[in-house]
Structures are given as structure tokens and as C-alpha cells.
């Protein structure tokens, strides 16, 4: 390899590491995804030409090798103890008094850190290189999950910067940020799979994958909260807050607002203030941890048999409630998946009355051993649908009735089959009325054809009244206006609005239509990629599998699914009728308005919008010349803040970024 190529390779790898650090540690993306991919592509190119130059810490080497057959056990050099915890403020004060006594009047400070709800991990770096990632296990011995952790982008393969220790165990949590978790679930739903219920359990499941390539793309993240071994110890500061700063400079992500305070009152104030912000964080936090900042003082305080004496977690009450299971409903999804849902006596959870809770699948029903009549504990975490977490066995009545797996589809009576893996049941009929209703509702949803008023209730009524059977039927409904208006609670005005919405939806670009057709594996972004590639539906329909594979992001499974969909005569017939009705089947060339109101501006959208969906706001900004980014930085020109805008709003104000609300945003899009 020439010196130049070698130099370029090293420079590119450093550059990528620095971008990773900016992105994951500082939440401040310095380049676009596309530029980042270009750098990575160039590294890959150089490494293909010079395979001898591939090093284990190269950013191209996050996933490699064959799937594992199992996990090795590893012993922790320094045990991973759990942290004592309390829900009670007075116990925090008692903890503080014990500290005072043991430190015999010395001054001390508390580090106040967030307790991220994830899976505890220890990352070992030797001479800066990641050599081991291990789960906590029983505290003394854990599982070697190095291959899976390498596939998580926010885990640096090599520590960068100066003063990197000879040896360090970095302790922290692998967790699933809410946005990435929701996006992954959307993908699962588009694939006809049931969504994951709980980010922490799903993180545990992901880390147990034997095939590291399955970890890629899920968006798991790492955040550190401490250190095990550190060598040579004397080279590093006594203050953990200062050590945190060093760790950040090496590329390790930590909770951003960690603070150091000199009194228990100040620490408690932070905890109480934080409990109000936690919903805005973008990941689950179940409490705060108070830790003595000084390493030497920690050593003086030592351990009990179970916990370090120098730290305590102040946990927030889980939003749990007790109720009685009245019955189980079976819901049929748009691709036939049958999921059980608990119907229960109303219970107050997180300020709302809840009557239903998720049971996910039949494996879960069996694992919980839940029966009708049982007293159950339900929990609501963040924005997620409440779920049944356990049964209070002592309260089980004699006549409690087991829940049986349905043998026929509860909606249409067709036979059901077990999904691969055996966890899900699926209705086998393509004529299933429940599936049809789900598919038609999906067709009309605002992310697809965006037909006003066409929610689930109206769709059910239209199907039950025999007015629609497939999506092409929407476009002849104006001929049956009186019958539509005769539907219960419909009325003249709603009928006109709905039919006008149907008419407007004809102008949607091909990308929306493709997304709306319920083709297995095709979600919004894939539909857009396909539409932009082929530009009209005839080209999509006649595309071979090979041609479909040329589209960015389209793999074998997806290409086969699209191909099979358009091979089907009934589907071709629906497309023909849509076209005859005047529905647009072409994709406009992508244009950005260089003179638009957002030309040249970098814009971030945050909080809850009332009028627009988040996607719609992003589309508007881009079509009017702006660039959308996810995080606030010095480069941000404008923040559009909806209600409940949290940390981004605070950061924008701090940086002096212009902030506008939704109505001002809409006004500017029209100017």
C-alpha cells in the first residue's frame, strides 16, 4: 500500500471516529448521513484494495464473522454490584447522615446522575481498544457479548484523543432510545410482525441475539455511568466528574446533565426537578443516582455485602395499578396477525383511565399464566400502551378461566396458523373482514393517502354496510353519497368533508400510494425509494426482481414481496381501477425550492404539533429549500417548537437559535 493511501485510510478512520463522538457524545451532528456514508464507503474501498490494512477497530468492522453458537461466561475483575435504592426522600437524608458520619466531618460532594433503564454492561478497553463487553450477570460473572456490542454505533471500537488509559472497564447501560424503538416497531408492523412492548426487555433480547448482524440498524445506544478497573490510576483525577469529562473526550457517551453538588438538599432538588423533565428525554429513566464524587472517599466508604456504601438510587414510582381481568379480545392485524388484548376493570394510570392492556402474544399469556377473573398488575411506561406485568396469584378466584388459543380467526372464522417461531397466530384467509378493515384504515391514514375523517370507526361502518371492499372502492363512493350520509353519526357535513378528502387524495404522489397498498415489508421510506427510482407505477409493476434490487435499501425479501404483489391479478385489477378513477400513479421529480422561505436554513422540529404530523413538517421544510436535522447545534438556524418542547427548546434558547411555534411555521410556509 502506498504511503498516501495508508495516510488517507488513517485520516478517514479518525474523521469517522470524531464524527461518531460528536454525534453520540455531544448530540451534535457535524455532517449529514450521506457525507458520513461517503467517508465509510471510501474506507471500505481502500480496505478492499488492501485487505492487509483492515484493523479490528476500523469502522467497517463492527459486524464480522459467523453467528455465535452461544455466549462465553466471563468473570468481572471488579464485581458489578447493584445499587441500593429507595423511593423515599427521607431515606436519602438518612443515607447522607451515614456518609457524614463515616467521612468524619470531611467535605464531600455528590455526583447526581440519571439512572437509565437499560441493560448493565461493562466495556473493557486495553490500550484504547475495545477487547471485551460483558453483561452484569450475577455481578461476579456475566456473558461475553462483545460481538453484539461492537455492532452498536455509540460503543467506540477505539477510544480517541489523548491520555487514554492503559486499561479501563467502562460501566454503563445499553438502552433503546424511544425514537429508534418506535421506528423499529413501525418496521416490524410493516413486516406483519407484532411490535415489541418494552424497550428494556427488547434490549435484553437483542443482546442475546447470536447473530450480531441482527443488532445493526436497531438503534441501540450506550451511556456510561462509572468505571471498574482503571490503570494507571495515578494518572487520573480523583473527581469522577472530571473523569467523566475525560471519558467524553475519548468518545464515551454519558448522561448530559450530570451535576456535582455540595449538599443533600441540592441533590434532592435536582431529583425532584428531573422527575418533571424525564418524559422529554427520549429514553426511559427510572430514577436518579447520588454518588460520592471523590474516588478516595469512595474507597474509604467501601461496600456492604451487596451494595457500595457511596451511592444510592432515588427511584421514581412505576406507574402501576391493580385491576381485574374481565376478558381477552382477539385483534386481527392488517396482515392477519392475531393478538390478545386484556379487557379489565377501569384503573387510573399516569392520570388516565385505562380499560385495556396489551398481552402481546400467546407465549406471553402462558408465561404470565393469566386467567380471566385474575387480579392483574398493569404498568404504563412512557408513552407505551399499558401492559399486563403479572398476576396476583393469591387473589385468584376458584372459577378463574384459562385463556385458550383461538383455533379459528375470531373475525372471519377461517383457520389460523402458527407463525414461524410459533409466537404469533395468523388468520390464513386473504378475504378476512378484520384484515380488510385494518388495511383500508391504513390506506387512509395521514402518513399514507391522508383521507380526512376516514378513521377506523368509519371504515368499519363502510365495510359492514357493504359500501367498500377494497381501496379502489373509495373513489366511486361519491356515486353512493346518500348511502354514506345515512351511516350512523355521519351527517351531511362529515360526508362532504370525507368525500372531498377522497378527491384530494387522488393527487398524492406515487410514494404515498405504494405505501398505502399494504405490500408486505414496504414501509414509508421504502415506498419513497421505489417511487423515486421508477417514477411511475407501470415501471414498478413490470420491474423484475433484479431491477427492484437496484433500488437503495431494497433487499431480496422486499424485492420478492413487491414482485409477487404485482404479479397477483386481483392486485393488478385494483391498480387499474385506481388509475381509471383518476388516482395519480406517478412520482414528481424531487425539487427543492432554492428561493423558498427556508432556503439555506437548517431547521429542527420538536414537541407535539397540532395541525401537522412531524413527517409533514419535515417534508414542507425540505420542499421549501431547508435542511432538517434532529439535534440542536450552533449550526441550527431555526427551531419549530410544538407543545411540550423539552430539552431542545432549552438548548436553542441557550444558543440563541430563533424559535417559532407551529402557527408561525405554517404562516411562513405560505409566505
Least distance between Zn ion and beta carbon 419 (Å):
14
Measured CA to CA, the distance from residue 289 to residue 83 in angstroms comes to 9
Contact in structure between 69 and 210 (CB atoms under 8 Å): yes
Please say which residue, 132 or 412, places its beta carbon nearer to Zn ion.
412
556 burial (CB, 10 Å; 0-12 / 13-18 / 19+) is exposed
- Closer to Zn ion at the Cβ: 146 or 337? 337
Closest approach of Zn ion to the CB of residue 332, in Å:
5
Q: Which residues 432-461 are close enough to bind Zn ion by CB under 5 A?
A: 432
User: Min. distance of Cβ 341 from Zn ion in angstroms?
Assistant: 16
Look up cell 365495510; give the residue.
463
Which one-letter DSSP state was computed for residue 584? -
Question: Chain-centre distance of CA 278, in angstroms?
Answer: 16
Cβ partners under 8 Å of residue 650, min gap 6: none
Task: State the minimum distance, in angstroms, from the CB of residue 562 to Zn ion.
Answer: 24
Supply the minimum distance, in Å, between the C-beta of residue 405 and Zn ion: 15
254, 244 Cβ separation under 8 angstroms: yes
Q: Residue 293: what are its φ and ψ, rounded to 5°? A: -75, -35
Beta pairing class for 311-315 and 285-292:
antiparallel
Q: Are 516 and 472 in contact (CB under 8 A)?
A: no
Site track for Zn ion across 405-434, x = CB under 5 A: ----x-xx-x------------x-x--x--
CB 178 within 8 A of CB 186: no
Min separation Cβ 412 and Zn ion, Å = 3
Q: Which is nearer to Zn ion, 134 or 432 (CB)?
A: 432
Q: How far is the CB of 388 from Zn ion (least distance, A)?
A: 25
DSSP alpha helix (H) spans, 476-625: 481-485, 491-505, 510-516, 524-534, 537-541, 545-549, 556-567, 569-580, 614-623
| CA 646/CA 477 separation, integer angstroms | 44
d(CA 114, CA 638): 29
**CB nearer Zn ion, residue 85 or residue 414:** 414
Subset of 555-614 contacting Zn ion (CB under 5 A): none
Question: Count of residues for the chain?
Answer: 671
- State the nearest-atom distance from the C-beta of 351 to Zn ion, in Å: 36
Nearest distance from residue 93's CB to Zn ion, in Å?
A: 59
CB of 372 to Zn ion, least distance (A): 23
In this structure, how many other beta carbons lie within 10 angstroms of the beta carbon of residue 14? 12
User: How far is 446 from 1, CA to CA, in rounded Å?
Assistant: 54
Binding to Zn ion by CB under 5 A, coded x per residue (else -) over 358-397, reads ----------------------------------------
Q: Cβ closer to Zn ion: 172 or 336?
A: 336
Between 412 and 485, CB nearer to Zn ion:
412
- Nearer Cβ to Zn ion (255/330): 330
The DSSP letter of residue 415 is B
Q: What angle, rounded to 10 degrees, do the helices at 556-567 and 569-580 form?
A: 70
Is the CB of 86 or the CB of 331 nearer to Zn ion?
331
Contact between 194 and 360 under an 8 Å Cβ cutoff? The reply is yes
- Is 115 noted as a catalytic residue in this protein? yes
As measured in angstroms, the least distance from the Cβ of 438 to Zn ion is: 10
List the catalytic residue out of 115, 315, 437, 651: 115
Bond preceding residue 153 cis, omega within 30 of 0: no
The count of residues interacting with Zn ion (CB under 5 A) is 7
E strand map for 364-489: 371-372, 375-379, 387-391, 401-402, 416-418, 425-427
146 vs 429, which CB is nearer to Zn ion?
Answer: 429
Nearer to Zn ion, 191 or 414 (CB): 414
b/e for 139-176, b at 16 or more Cβ within 10 A?
eeebbbbbbbbbbbbbbbbbbbeeebbebbbbbbbbbb
Half-sphere exposure of 622 (CA within 13 A, CB side): 10
**Smaller CB separation from Zn ion, 368 or 432:** 432
Residue 319, C-beta contacts closer than 8 angstroms, at least 6 positions apart = 349, 350, 379, 380, 381
Burial class (CB in 10 A: 0-12, 13-18, 19+), 277: middle
SS3 state at 664: helix
- Which residues are catalytically annotated? 115
What is the contact surface with Zn ion in residues (CB under 5 A)? 409, 411-412, 414, 427, 429, 432
Amino acid at each position: 500500500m502506498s504511503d498516501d493511501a495508508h495516510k488517507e485510510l488513517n485520516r478517514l478512520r479518525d474523521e469517522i471516529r470524531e464524527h461518531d463522538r460528536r454525534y453520540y457524545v455531544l448530540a451534535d451532528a457535524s455532517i449529514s448521513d450521506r457525507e458520513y456514508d461517503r467517508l465509510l464507503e471510501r474506507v471500505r474501498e481502500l480496505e478492499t484494495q488492501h485487505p492487509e490494512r483492515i484493523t479490528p477497530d476500523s469502522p467497517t468492522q463492527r459486524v464480522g464473522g459467523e453467528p455465535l453458537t452461544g455466549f462465553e461466561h466471563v468473570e468481572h475483575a471488579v464485581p458489578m454490584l447493584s445499587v441500593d435504592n429507595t423511593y423515599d426522600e427521607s431515606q436519602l437524608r438518612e443515607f447522607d447522615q451515614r456518609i457524614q458520619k463515616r467521612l468524619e466531618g470531611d467535605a464531600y460532594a455528590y455526583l447526581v446522575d440519571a439512572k437509565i433503564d437499560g441493560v448493565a454492561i461493562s466495556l473493557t478497553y486495553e490500550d484504547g481498544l475495545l477487547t471485551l463487553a460483558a453483561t452484569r450477570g450475577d455481578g461476579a460473572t456475566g456473558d461475553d457479548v462483545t460481538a453484539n456490542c461492537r455492532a452498536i454505533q455509540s460503543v467506540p471500537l477505539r477510544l480517541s484523543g489523548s491520555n487514554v488509559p492503559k486499561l479501563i472497564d467502562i460501566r454503563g447501560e445499553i438502552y433503546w432510545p424511544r425514537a429508534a424503538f418506535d421506528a423499529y416497531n413501525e418496521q416490524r408492523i410493516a413486516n406483519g410482525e407484532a411490535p415489541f412492548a418494552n424497550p428494556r426487555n427488547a434490549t435484553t433480547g437483542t443482546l442475546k441475539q447470536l447473530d450480531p448482524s441482527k443488532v445493526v440498524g436497531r438503534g441501540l445506544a450506550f451511556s456510561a455511568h462509572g468505571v471498574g478497573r482503571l490503570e494507571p490510576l495515578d494518572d487520573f483525577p480523583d473527581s469522577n466528574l472530571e473523569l467523566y469529562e475525560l471519558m467524553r473526550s475519548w468518545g464515551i457517551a454519558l448522561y448530559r446533565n450530570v451535576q456535582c453538588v455540595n449538599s443533600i438538599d441540592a441533590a434532592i432538588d435536582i431529583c425532584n426537578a428531573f422527575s418533571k423533565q424525564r418524559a422529554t428525554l427520549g429514553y426511559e429513566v427510572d430514577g436518579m443516582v447520588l454518588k460520592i464524587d471523590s474516588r478516595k472517599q469512595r474507597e474509604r466508604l467501601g461496600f456492604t455485602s451487596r451494595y457500595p456504601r457511596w451511592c444510592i438510587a432515588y427511584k421514581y414510582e412505576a406507574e402501576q395499578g391493580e385491576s381485574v381481568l374481565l376478558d381477552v379480545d382477539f385483534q386481527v392485524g392488517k396482515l392477519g396477525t392475531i393478538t390478545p388484548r386484556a379487557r379489565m376493570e377501569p384503573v387510573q394510570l399516569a392520570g388516565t383511565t385505562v380499560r385495556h392492556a396489551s398481552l402481546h402474544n400467546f407465549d406471553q399469556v402462558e408465561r404470565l399464566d393469566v386467567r380471566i377473573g385474575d387480579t392483574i398488575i398493569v404498568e404504563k411506561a412512557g408513552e407505551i400502551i399499558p401492559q399486563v406485568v403479572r398476576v396476583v396469584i393469591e387473589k385468584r378466584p376458584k372459577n378463574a378461566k384459562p385463556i385458550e388459543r383461538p383455533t379459528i380467526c375470531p373475525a372471519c372464522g377461517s383457520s389460523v396458523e402458527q407463525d414461524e417461531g410459533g409466537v404469533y397466530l395468523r388468520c390464513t384467509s386473504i378475504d378476512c373482514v378484520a384484515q380488510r378493515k385494518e388495511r383500508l384504515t391504513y390506506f387512509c391514514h395521514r402518513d399514507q393517502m391522508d383521507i380526512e375523517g376516514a378513521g377506523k370507526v368509519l371504515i368499519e361502518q363502510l365495510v359492514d354496510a357493504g359500501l367498500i371492499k377494497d381501496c379502489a372502492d373509495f373513489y366511486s363512493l361519491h356515486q353512493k353519497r346518500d348511502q354514506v350520509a345515512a351511516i350512523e353519526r355521519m351527517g351531511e357535513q362529515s360526508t362532504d368533508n370525507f368525500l372531498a378528502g377522497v378527491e384530494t387524495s387522488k393527487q398524492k404522489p406515487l410514494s404515498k400510494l405504494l405505501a398505502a397498498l399494504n405490500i408486505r415489508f414496504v414501509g414509508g421510506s421504502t415506498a419513497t425509494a421505489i417511487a423515486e427510482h421508477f417514477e411511475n407505477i407501470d415501471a414498478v409493476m413490470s420491474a423484475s426482481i433484479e431491477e427492484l434490487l437496484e433500488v437503495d435499501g431494497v433487499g431480496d425479501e422486499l424485492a420478492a414481496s413487491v414482485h409477487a404483489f404485482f404479479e397477483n391479478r386481483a392486485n393488478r385489477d385494483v391498480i387499474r381501477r385506481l388509475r381509471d378513477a383518476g388516482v395519480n400513479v406517478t412520482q414528481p421529480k424531487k425539487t427543492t425550492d432554492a428561493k423558498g422561505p427556508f432556503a439555506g436554513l437548517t431547521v429542527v422540529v420538536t414537541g407535539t404539533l397540532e395541525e401537522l404530523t412531524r413527517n409533514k413538517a419535515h417534508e414542507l421544510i425540505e420542499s421549501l429549500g431547508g435542511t432538517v436535522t434532529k439535534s440542536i447545534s450552533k449550526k441550527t438556524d431555526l427551531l419549530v417548537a410544538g407543545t411540550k418542547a423539552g430539552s431542545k427548546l432549552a438548548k436553542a434558547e441557550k444558543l440563541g437559535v430563533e424559535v417559532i411555534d407551529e402557527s408561525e411555521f405554517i404562516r411562513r410556509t405560505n409566505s
